[in-house]
Amino acid sequence: MDSDFAVYIGRRTLEVALMMSAPVLGVTLVVGLLTAMLQAVTSLRDMTLGLVVKIACVGLALLVSANWMIQVALEFTTEVFNHMQALGH
């Protein structure tokens, strides 16, 4: 295994991790901003309101994107194991 291959695997790992976390982080960002604006407009100071809404939306985002996330993780795992098998022979 040379250094180029190690850099490739490291870069690919970070790409997959960012790709899989993007839907949840995006939903959290948008919901957090909307909740903060709603609280500022209505002068609500309840901290749990934003948290409960974020948790519900993150759960929904996970339900919607779970199948895609599993497929991405399986493809990456298969790719890594194929590379490991090629190195072994």
Using CA atoms, how far apart are residues 37 and 42, in angstroms rounded to an integer? Answer: 9
**What does pTM read for this prediction?**
0.78
Using CA atoms, how far apart are residues 40 and 36, in angstroms rounded to an integer? Answer: 6
* Contact between 35 and 50 (Cβ < 8 Å): yes
Residue in this structure with the two tokens 């500022």, named with its chain if needed = 40
Number of domains in the chain: 1
Q: What is the dihedral of CA 85, 20, 62, 37, to 10 degrees?
A: 170
pLDDT tens track for 45-76: 888 888 999 999 999 999 999 999 999 999 99
User: What is the rounded end-to-end Cα distance, in angstroms, of the chain?
Assistant: 12
Range of the domain at 19: 3-88
Determine the pLDDT at residue 1: 67
Determine the pLDDT at residue 89: 66
